[in-house]
Each structure stands twice: as structure tokens, then as C-alpha cells.
Amino acid sequence: MPENPEELCRQPAPGPGFDPFGWLKGSRQLNRARHIGAVLIRYGFAELAAKFGLERRLKLGHKAWSDVAALTEPERLVKAFEELGPTFIKLGQMLSTRPDIMPPDYLKALAKLQDSVPGIPYDTVERVIGAETCRLPGDVFAEFDREPLAAASLSQVHRAKLATGEEVAVKVQRPGIATMVEGDLAILASVARFIERHQPDLAAYDPVGLVNEFGRGLGLELDFVHEGQNADICRRNFAADESVVIPKIYWDYTTRRLLVLDLLTGVKPTDAAGLERAGVDRHKLGQSGSSVYMKMIFKHGFFQPDPHPGNLIVMSGGRLGVIDFGMFSRIDTDTRDLLVDMLLAAYQQDSNRLTRFVLKVGSKTGRVDEVLLRADIQDLLDRYYGANLRELSLGRMLRELVAVSHRHRIAIPAGLAMLARGLATVEGLGLLIDPQFNFVEEMKPFLERLAWRRFGPLGWFKDIRRSAADIESLARDLPADLRQISDWLKKGEVKLQIDHEELRQIARSLSHSNNQLAAAIVLAAIIIGASLLVVAAPTALRALVPVIGVVAFVAAGVIGVYLFLAVLRGE
């Protein structure tokens, strides 16, 4: 460890080294892709590796481990993700918040993904702190524990004390993790493009968009400045709420790879014995926890998509402390209003209105039979008809509604799907804390206030004002638009454009058929020409005929093999 602070600042961040042409990077990614494919196959996902294009392109084996045969398929996927490391652990955690993509048994298994790994050595921690602050750790902190409080795949946390006496938690990013994540994201992006081109049944899930969304979120999670900003937003939002504690960020010490914040101590919300020893009222704690999350969603529009117990801590007096701010999402007013409308329609057993909302909020990925969709939504509502609040599971109902939408080829926006998952997670956490917890009862005050704001006089006034602004804009732009349309009509520049997926598929099929027909005609011409040349060649050319004939028949063979393979591939 260098003792001169200036030398610390000169130390380069961990990276791949000298690689001007990108050859080493390409080689590393190829080896990593082979490793990913091999791990999937070992855990019994050979078919998945083939669908992702890994098996054929990387020439992987087919041998699965015998000791995982007793595990269910979702359990094996969790094991594979844990072995593949940080990026795939985070991918699994993200997928666990997407009931529109993953089946229920996978959601349950992926939610248990463990993001805990052995800690990095203390001298490595010192180097990171030194490189980020240009000071030795002893010059930054009055005290610093060598052993981490917690270690995860992206970072680890140490207890420390500032020179001014505040006890803080110091979150240190693992060296080289950004480079590793970048390489894995490049592989996932390549796989996503392959799926969109060659797997039409999976392309409906928008794999490229999914990977881009995941990569953006993971990039922000690796930026501790962004995490600190999230904490500051939450701290402002809950400044007047004494039931929740948001740690203060110490910006003088915080950088992209180093986060210093108040140290919150207490009991895990799932530790029943610890809560009892601390004298915490579990019923009130369940109410407090759900209230915090409802405020995040319905009041602030800034919430955690995956509010698992590891992000929370119960402090003295039953106060709830939030300790992780890496992944936060925003929900706009329109989406909140739509969610309230959908929940009210479900509560009133109005399948027609709920169907309209599903069609409005979702995007169609294929032909939708609205009559059949309405019937399935009515069946869903009928299953909950007459159930009292104690028996009603809001999380399960939302997940089932998302599943019905997906079955009818309606893609629910990622934000709304994550929100449904978040509500279901809070409901499950509340039941873990207090077996008598009822989420619907806790939500009622928030929904009533939102419904009044949405449909009361204030809501009408806002709608009228918004409509007036739209009408004013339309009246201002309409004359110019009409004049433009009139000019197009006079010049004959109006064109009718029809964009239909089935027509595009027919056009692609015709194009492939034309290519095959052209190749077949060329093949026939070569065979006939070569045969005539051999049979009726002039005497002067007899010496060249064998050579020309062989070349022609070889060319015909190549074209024939191409046609055969094209037919097998269905192109």
C-alpha cells in the first residue's frame, strides 16, 4: 500500500490492460460465453443454451450434473445464476420482479437468490478507498473495522467512525466489477439479438429492450453517487415521518465507488425472536412497513421495485430503517391513476372497465380476441367474488391479471409489472412479520384518498384544465395542419402506408422462396449445360471437357447442399 496520497491518485482503476485492437476483450468474452453455456448445460438447460444460440456457436457439450437431477427446474436455474456470478444474480433478482415474463414457480425461486459472497481482503479495500479519496484510510476515518459487516457481489460494507464522531457505514465497490459486468452485458445483448432474429416465440418478450433496461439499472447501481442521490430524495420525502429513518449521505467522502452514510443498527424484520426481545409490536410494524411503501408509490411516486427484507432494519422504538437505495423506480401520475382505476374496477367486479384499462395500459404483441380476454378477466374476478378482506390476496390477484394479459399477447409496461411485484413482495413481508397482517385493509386509506383526488371535484378540475390545454393546442395547430394536408393533396403526395406483421411474414416467405427458386434454376442450368458439354463438345475442346465438367458439377453440388440446408432450416 503506497504511503504517499499522490501515488494513490495516480493508481489506474482496475481494467483489462493494454488492448488497442480489442482482441483480448473479444477472447475474454468468447471464453465467458463458453462458460455461461457450459454452466447452463451442467444444470440441465441444454435446450435453453441451444435457444440462446450458445450451444451451436460455441460447440458445447451435453453433459449435465447428476447431483442436480433431484432439484426442480426453477431451483436449478437459481443454482446456475449463483454460479455465474454478480451479473446473473442481479438478472435473476430483476426477473423475480417481472410476473409478466416469468411463471409463478420461477418468481418464487428467483426471489430467494442469495447475493452474498466472501469478502475482499482489507488491503484491497484500502486501495479502493485511497484511489477514490487520494488519502489513506487512517486519514479519512477515525476508526475503520477491518472485517466487513456484509459482503455482496458488487460491494461490501464496513463500520467506521468519522473524525467528527459520527458512526457511518462505508460501502466499497469490488475492484474490476464494472469491467466484468460490462462484458456480461455485451454477451446478454448478443444473445438478445439472436433471440429476436431466430426465436419468434421469445421475441414477443422484447429481449433487446429487456437487456437494455437491465443494463441501465445495473449501471446506475454501480454508481454510488446515484445511490446517494436516491437516498437524499427519500430522506426529503420522509422528512416529516418519524416512523421511518433514512440515513444521511456524507458527500465529502462519497464517490462513484465509495458511499459513506449513517450507520443504522437494529433487528432484521424477519427475525421474530429478535423483535420479541426488542419489545417491538409486530402488528404495528407490519402496518408501518406497508404504510412506508404505500407512501413511496401513491404519494411520492418513487419506490423500490424489490423491497426484500435485506433492504430494511427495525430500529429502537419500532422505527423502520431503509438501508439500500441502489434500485429505485419512478411512477408517474398517469400510471398511478391507471393503477387506482384498475384496482377500483377489480373491487367493483367490473370486467368491462378492467378489460378497457388492460388494453389501454398494455401494448399488443399480436392479434387480441377482446371477447375472450374479457371472459378470462371475468373468470379471474369471479374467483375472488365474495371473499372477505382476510382471504383476499392483492399480490396474487395482480400477478394473475398480468398472466392473463400476457396469455392474450398484451405486454404490460415494465414499470407497472415491477410495481405489481413490489406490492406482492410487501404483502408477503407483512405476513412474515405479522401472520394477521391484511394488506388490502392497509391499502384502503391510500386508495380512498387517491380515488377522491381522482374522481372528486379537484380531479374534475384537473381533467378540465388538462383538456382545455389540449383543446387550445389543437385549435392553434389545426389550421396549419389542414393547410399542409391540402398542399399534399394538390401535389399528389399523399401516400397510404399499410404495416401488417402477417403481410411482412408473407413477404419474407416469398423472398426466401424466390431465392430458393433462383438457386434451383441455376442448379438445373449448370447440370444440363455440363451434361451437354460432355456429350456434344467439339473435338478441339475434348481435352478441357473433363475439367470444366468437374468444376460445373462441384458448383452444382455446392448449390444443392445450400438448397437442402435452407429447406431444413425453413428459410
Residue 490 inside a domain? The answer is: no
Going by pLDDT thresholds of 50, 70 and 90, the confidence category of residue 438 is: confident
Beta bridge partners of 363: 411
How much is the average pLDDT of 28-45?
83
The answer on 343 and 403 residing in a single domain is: yes
The answer on 528 and 394 residing in a single domain is: no
Q: Kindly report whether the global pTM for this prediction surpasses the value 0.75.
A: no
Assess whether pLDDT exceeds 70 at residue 533. Answer: no
pLDDT tens figures, 233-255 = 999 999 998 889 999 999 999 99
The answer on 444 and 515 residing in a single domain is: no
Assess whether pLDDT exceeds 80 at residue 267. Answer: yes
Going by pLDDT thresholds of 50, 70 and 90, the confidence category of residue 550 is: low
The answer on 451 and 339 residing in a single domain is: yes
pLDDT tens figures, 131-144 = 898 887 788 899 99
pLDDT tens figures, 284-301 = 888 888 888 888 888 888
Give the count of domains, the chain: 3
pLDDT tens figures, 217-233 = 888 889 999 999 999 99
Residue 191 inside a domain? The answer is: yes
Range of the domain at 552: 501-569
Determine contact, residues 532/554, Cβ cutoff 8 Å: no
Assess whether pLDDT exceeds 50 at residue 21. Answer: no
Assess whether pLDDT exceeds 80 at residue 496. Answer: no
Position 18 scores a pLDDT of 42
Domain boundary among 167, 195, 223: 195
Going by pLDDT thresholds of 50, 70 and 90, the confidence category of residue 415 is: confident
Position 344 scores a pLDDT of 78
Residue 168 inside a domain? The answer is: no
Position 223 scores a pLDDT of 93
Assess whether pLDDT exceeds 60 at residue 501. Answer: no
The answer on 536 and 439 residing in a single domain is: no
For CA atoms 141, 142, 147, 149, the dihedral sign is negative
Q: Give SS3 for 31.
A: helix
Assess whether pLDDT exceeds 50 at residue 401. Answer: yes
Q: Which helix (H) or strand (E) holds 191?
A: helix 177-198
C-alpha to C-alpha distance for 417 and 396, rounded to whole angstroms: 13
Q: Which of 184, 206, 262, 306 is catalytic?
A: 306
Kindly report the average pLDDT of the chain as a whole number. Answer: 78
Residue ranges of alpha helices (H) inside 385-500 are: 394-407, 414-433, 439-455, 457-491
Domain boundary among 436, 455, 474: 455
Q: What is the number of residues in the chain?
A: 571
Residue 514 inside a domain? The answer is: yes
Q: Lowest mean pLDDT: which of 97-101, 106-110, 445-449, 480-484?
A: 97-101
Whether 19 is catalytic: no
Assess whether pLDDT exceeds 70 at residue 25. Answer: no
pLDDT tens figures, 316-372 = 888 899 988 988 888 877 777 777 788 778 777 788 888 988 888 888 877 888 899
Position 423 scores a pLDDT of 79
For CA atoms 536, 541, 542, 543, the dihedral sign is negative
The answer on 187 and 50 residing in a single domain is: yes
Assess whether pLDDT exceeds 90 at residue 173. Answer: yes
Most confident of 93-102, 354-363, 532-541: 354-363
- How far apart, in Å, are the Cα atoms of 571 and each of 34, 48, 511? 27, 22, 9
Assess whether pLDDT exceeds 50 at residue 22. Answer: no
